[in-house]
Amino acid sequence: MSMRYEGTVYVFGDDVNTDEIIPARYLTTTDPAVLASKCMEDARPGFGAQVKKGSILVAGANFGCGSSREHAPIAIKAAGISCVIAESFARIFFRNAINIGLPIVECPGVTKRLKEGDRVSVDLKEGLITPAEGAPLPITPFPPFMERIVQEGGWMPYLVKQYGRR
Amino acid sequence: MTLTEKILARAAGRDAVKPGEFLEIEPDLGLANDITAPLAIEEFEKTGAASVRYPERVFLVPDHFTPNKDIQSAQQVKVLRDFSRRHPGVRFFEQGEVGVEHALLPEIGAIAPGMVVIGADSHTCTYGALGAFSTGVGSTDLAGFYLTGRAWLRVPPTIHAVFSGTRHPWVTGKDMILALIGKISVSGATYRALEFSGSAVDSLSVEGRLSMANMAVEAGAKNGVFASDAKVAAYLKGRTSRPWEHVAPDTDAAYERVVEIDVSALPPVVAQPHLPEKVVPADSLPDVRIDQVVIGSCTNGRIEDLRLAAEILKGHKVASGVRCIVIPATPAVYRQALHEGLFDVFLDAGAIISPPTCGPCLGGHMGILAQGERCVSTTNRNFVGRMGHRESEIYLASPATAAASAVAGRVASPTEIVAQDRRQG
């Protein structure tokens, strides 16, 4: 799995919840393309239609708080966001992202260094975020157990490898 | 060890576990609903697996859009129904027996102390009221559970929340959990367990504790848990056939932090838009006009909640221009409320009674807010757009405060309505 991402940054604030990421009125489908088109709808209306493929989403503290809907990281991934960087994440969103293989990194201080429209590169192997200007930002590395799940491409590939398909 | 550590150690077959450790365990029960189960079933079926590892541990509760609000939601429920038919043993709750999942599962005796429960719904933390380790996860976690019976968990550090003092009349478990969230913030317990204790917790009914554990996730917590006591034993009697033993933390348990709240100083409260941490006394907002009141949900849709609302509404009318929607959380609660004459109180007051559903809590159906509208709700989230238009507003409150607000036509404390009644004799 590639661990290096480069793109333009979209910046969101603190406590962005999963109702804003994908409102429940769109949860009568599991189709990633439909979910992608409504991505971040109640945080920034129209985002799903404008977002450029390969972009990087930057957010403040407690990103993805609220409901357990996996539709939230699916919408972000299917919208073409290559990587999510936040000051911190809510726990269910964090595990969902790990489980579905959406690259996600915690980087305290990131919202002070990056602003909307900046170019940035993220290297998960090296553990560094490199902005266009200034010093690189270190990221909080995954614990080894999570690293293994990420390496396998998510929780289901990991389980199938460990236990077979039954 | 803390209560959470003890339950997880036993589930892992270990003498002890420490915060930060990763465990792969076999949960006793895994639930999903009509929003999260379709994704779980898709992921399970992508593996080509022929059978579910432990079908009798799989609970499918299509409660979010029930009764099916449109073609797509009916299709999603059909996915669950068909899956349960293909895999005998899987519990699927048909319309007529379905209720709000976190009210329904304790009520039917599916939950007992010491169990490990995962659910693809963030409010799965509710079952901690019965001394279970119970946490919200995602759909892929459930898919993995269907396939292998397993799940991964990181042992959380525990925050000990101690509630002392004596509650004032009309101060409920809902006010207590809102006060805690107001104090520690919506991320104050992220990646942590919340363990509740203290004299004010002991004096709460099991239903009041279910309301508290329900909102642990609104502080970011992984789970919220109470030691089991005689009230839990009485609640489970005649309800569950599962063998169970009392659970309690060790006396030398290591807590990351202790938060103390004296409820003697706590009035009925509301959480203002748009975060559950924006908690203020209900009587401190005298001029907030409202359009709707919702009394129900996995937080406050149990019989005790409806009794409390009826106590305030009895002899009153819902204010002109306000819609008051009462939603018994399960068919049994519905029947009990009918039997006790609560429906007459609600109907006399001018309220509407809905069948059991999550409906308006998540902006699904059965009471959606228009642009600029305001709602006082006994639900658990007041995020932007949660119950409808993104320019609508939600105030979270107890059933007593919600009922008082319905009567006043604005955010109001139950003490105000009761004081008025006394003056009028």
Predicted confidence at residue B424, as pLDDT, reads 84
B53, B383, B393: best to mutate for the A interface, most A CBs within 10 A: B383
Contacts of residue B423, Cβ cutoff 8 Å, sequence gap at least 6? none
Predicted confidence at residue A43, as pLDDT, reads 96
**Of A23-37, A142-156, B148-162, B311-325, minimum mean pLDDT range:** A142-156
Residue A28 predicted with pLDDT over 60? yes
Predicted confidence at residue A108, as pLDDT, reads 93
Interface contact A45-B390, CB threshold 8 A: yes
Interface contact B36-A17, CB threshold 8 A: no
Cα nearest neighbour of B47 on chain A: A165
Judge whether B255 and B158 are in contact, CB under 8 Å.
yes
Residue A1 predicted with pLDDT over 60? no
Cα distances from A163 to residues A50, A99, A158, B388, in angstroms, run 41, 16, 9, 43
Distance from CA of A134 to the nearest CA of B (A): 30
Query: Does pTM top 0.95 for this prediction?
Result: yes
**Host domain of residue A75:** 4-163
Q: Which residues of chain B have pLDDT under 70?
A: none
Cα nearest neighbour of A91 on chain B: B191
CATH of residue A80's domain is 3.20.19.10
Residue A164 predicted with pLDDT over 90? no
Distance from CA of A133 to the nearest CA of B (A): 31
3-state secondary structure B195-234: EEECHHHHCCCHHHHHHHHHCHHHHCCCEEEECCCHHHHH
Is the CB of A68 inside 8 Å of chain B's CB atoms?
A: yes
Interface contact A66-B222, CB threshold 8 A: no
- Span B311-366, pLDDT tens digits: 999 999 999 999 999 999 999 999 999 999 999 999 999 999 999 999 999 999 99
Is the CB of B120 inside 8 Å of chain A's CB atoms?
A: yes
Domains of chain B and CATH, by start? 3-261 (3.30.499.10), 269-423 (3.30.499.10)
Q: Residue A5: which pLDDT band, with cuts at 50, 70 and 90?
A: very high
Residues of B with Cβ-Cβ distance to A43 under 8 angstroms = 384
> Facing residues of B225 across strands?
B195
Q: How far apart, in whole angstroms, are the C-alpha atoms of residue B33 and residue B92?
A: 10
Contacts of residue B404, Cβ cutoff 8 Å, sequence gap at least 6? B282, B312, B412, B413, B414, B416, B417
> What is the interface pTM, i.e. ipTM, of the complex?
0.95
Q: Considering chain A, what is the average pLDDT of its residues?
A: 94
Interface of B with A in 310-369 (CB under 8 A): 362-364
Q: Residue A155: which pLDDT band, with cuts at 50, 70 and 90?
A: very high
Interface contact B36-A69, CB threshold 8 A: yes
E strand or H helix at B83: helix B71-86
Predicted confidence at residue A166, as pLDDT, reads 65
Is the CB of A20 inside 8 Å of chain B's CB atoms?
A: yes
Q: Which of B211, B155, B149 lies closest to B20 in space, CA to CA?
A: B155
Looking up tokens 């939603």 gives B327
- Span B130-182, pLDDT tens digits: 999 999 999 999 999 999 999 999 999 999 999 999 999 999 999 999 999 99
Residues of B with Cβ-Cβ distance to A74 under 8 angstroms = 39
A12, A62, A70, A146: best to mutate for the B interface, most B CBs within 10 A: A70
Cα nearest neighbour of B41 on chain A: A30
How much is the average pLDDT of A5-26?
96
Tokens of B22: 């990763």
If one counts the domains in chain A, the total is 1
Residue A165 predicted with pLDDT over 80? no
- Side-by-side strand order, sheet with A137-138: A104-106, A83-86, A56-59, A4-11, A119-123, A128-131, A137-138
Residues of B with Cβ-Cβ distance to A29 under 8 angstroms = 72
Q: Residue A147: which pLDDT band, with cuts at 50, 70 and 90?
A: confident
Cα distances from B153 to residues B38, B52, B136, B369, in angstroms, run 23, 21, 11, 37
Residue A142 predicted with pLDDT over 90? no
Contacts of residue B41, Cβ cutoff 8 Å, sequence gap at least 6? B79, B80, B83, B143, B146
State what percent of residues in chain A have pLDDT above 70.
Answer: 98
Q: From the list A29, A43, A92, which residue is nearest B136 (CB)?
A: A92
Residue A140 predicted with pLDDT over 90? no
Cα nearest neighbour of B34 on chain A: A28
Is the CB of A155 inside 8 Å of chain B's CB atoms?
A: yes
